[in-house]
A and B are shown apart, each in its own frame.
Chain A
Amino acid sequence: MTAPVALRDASRVPARPGRRAGGRRRLPFSAWHLLLAPLSLGFALPLVWLVLSSVMSNAEINRFPPALWPKEIDLAGYRYVLNNAMFPRWFANSFLVAGTAVLSNLVLGSLGGYAFARMRFAGSRLLLGLMLATMVIPFQLTMIPTFLVMKRLGLIDTLGALIVPSLVTPFAVFLFRQFFLSLPRELEEAAWIDGCSRLRVLYSVVLPLARPALATVAVLTFLTTWNDLTWPLIAINHDTQYTLQLGLTTFQGQHHNEWSAIMAGNVITVLPVLVAFLFAQRTFIQSLTSSGLKG
């Protein structure tokens, strides 16, 4: 990173009053744009190409050299994917699996986290240690026996096989525990003395204060379950039970060179995560930094 030293960029100049973040003052032009604009466009280019090729006709894609810009918008790929392929079904499956995982991680994670943070019970230290230890077990080590456990339970090839392992993660329990420990006890004790049950205290006093923790668990759970391919690949054989990731992957394998349909399916696969990210960008970033830096 060498920049001409003569540059006067805004960051080195102490902000004048009234120019804090959020103030819609126009900042001066900076030569940094010359570096950052092409770089960030380069990062965006593959995704732009993903969208463009999904609205091209196969004829345009299969020319050599292929067209880089569609002459006209052709939605044949989307029509095929939505009518002849099972993408709507896979979308529903993915949504069900990820949605269940988010809800149940919030409920079970906060219950477990609260018990570890605020309640004294026999065996709590041992259990806490055990759970902490499970956080370092990589999924690759447990995937073969997990497959066998699911097989014994008769869940292989059903959405249940995808839902059960993602119902609650030690990560969620710990994140809630850490957050609850950081809250002052007085509020809870007041409600407690008023005769509220533990459950009432948790749901009417504590959780309303725990929005950052709820958001972090929700975002990271959604991202990992929606995007997972490895476990569905192992647990699911029948295409009615596919998730979007698995469906897209097999669809690509079966439809060689029907790129516009494949890319239309790819857009459908990526869209929910992109929309969620663009709407809750701050939450996404905070989730990653808080969980990343605190381990």
Chain B
Amino acid sequence: MPALSLRLRESATAWGFISPSVVIILGLSVVPVIWSFLLSLRADDLVTPGRWVGWDNYHALTRDPGFRTAVRNTLVYAGLYVPLSLVGGLALALALNRRIRLIGLYRTLIFVPFVVSAAAQGVLFSFILDPEFGAANSLLHALGISPQGFLTDPDQALFLLVLVSLWSGVGFCVVIYLAALQDVPPELVESARLDGAGRLRMLWHITLPALTPVSVFLLLWQFITALQVFDLVYVTTKGGPLGSTTVVVYFVWEQAFQMFTAGYGAAAAYVLAVALLLAGAVLHLYRRRHARATGQGAVR
């Protein structure tokens, strides 16, 4: 059998293997990315024929107070959620990183909220935080504190959404940190202990530096996650009260599927995508530098 026909046959088989993935993945990502960009240069309601407006949508975004509010809300949300989930996750992981009775149960209970969908979380906390019938106000009542508006109060809603996200999101950081703590070289810890270093000094000089790559990963990962928050907002507040919880993705969804200004929504989505891409690029560069510095392959 000549080599050429073998090569051809292998090529044909390989193409048979990958073609379904290629059609679906490229068809639903590369095509839409280009389409999105073209949409963002048009005034289009997805129903009637649109018209070409060039960069007008992007110009309008910079002057739109609604978009500015959405960006600000998203950054406030991320600015609280990201550091709190990292610090909380690290503290809990350090506390859970020991072999005592029931430790498996503790870990399970702290991680379980992570698998609950954002929609279910939203429905559950709408109930707990219901100003009239919720458990939260009856607890406050028992403590002698006057009832709160919670998600109906523009000053409280966004912060409460951060708290709900932390309830479910901290578990992820705990799991990643716990796995990373297993990789802290025990001989380092042991030699520091023999040198008489106290717990805090060991944490500061050995554990934390060893966890740096994981912390960088989590920082950017949680940031990317936070910029994309939508489901929870949709279920609990619909962006209200008074726009106090309208985040960027909610703004995009509203423009495209409620107001029928799809071109404008696509422009807003492009602004978000560029921000996410930058965060992703930072992570990628850090990993490459770190891999070179530690002489590892490009695995971590």
| In-complex Cβ contact of A274 among B97, B112, B172 (8 A) | B112
A9, A140, A278 pick with most chain B CB within 10 angstroms: A140
Q: Check: A254 CB closer than 8 A to any chain B CB.
A: no
Number of interface residues of B (CB under 8 A): 105
B110 touches A40 (CB 8 A): yes
| In-complex Cβ contact of A269 among B106, B117, B228 (8 A) | B117
Q: Check: A209 CB closer than 8 A to any chain B CB.
A: no
Complexed CA–CA distance, A33 and B98 (Å) = 11
Task: List, in ascending order, chain B residues with CB within 8 A of A278's CB.
Answer: 108
The majority secondary structure among interface residues of chain B is helix
| In-complex Cβ contact of B112 among A39, A47, A140 (8 A) | A47
A269 touches B21 (CB 8 A): no
A111-B110 contact in complex given A119-B14, A295-B217, C-beta closer than 8 Å = no
Residue of A nearest to B179 (CB): A289
A144-B262 contact in complex given A62-B133, A111-B17, A293-B300, C-beta closer than 8 Å = yes
| In-complex Cβ contact of A227 among B29, B103, B110, B117 (8 A) | B117
Number of interface residues of A (CB under 8 A): 106
Q: Check: A215 CB closer than 8 A to any chain B CB.
A: no
Q: Check: B152 CB closer than 8 A to any chain A CB.
A: no
Q: Check: A230 CB closer than 8 A to any chain B CB.
A: yes
Distance in angstroms from A117 CB to nearest chain B CB is: 10
A32 touches B100 (CB 8 A): yes
A contact set with B: CB distance below 8 Å: 1-3, 5, 9-11, 15, 21, 26-30, 32-33, 35-37, 39-41, 43-44, 46-47, 49-50, 53, 61-62, 64-66, 68, 108-109, 111-112, 114-116, 119-122, 124, 127, 130-131, 134, 136-149, 164-165, 167-170, 173, 198, 223, 226-230, 233-234, 245-246, 248-249, 252, 257, 259, 262-263, 266, 269-270, 273-274, 277-278, 281, 284-285, 288-289, 292-295
16 inter-chain pairs at a CB distance below 8 angstroms, sorted by A residue, are A5-B199, A11-B100, A29-B100, A36-B96, A61-B133, A62-B133, A65-B138, A65-B141, A138-B228, A233-B253, A249-B123, A273-B115, A273-B116, A274-B112, A285-B179, A289-B175
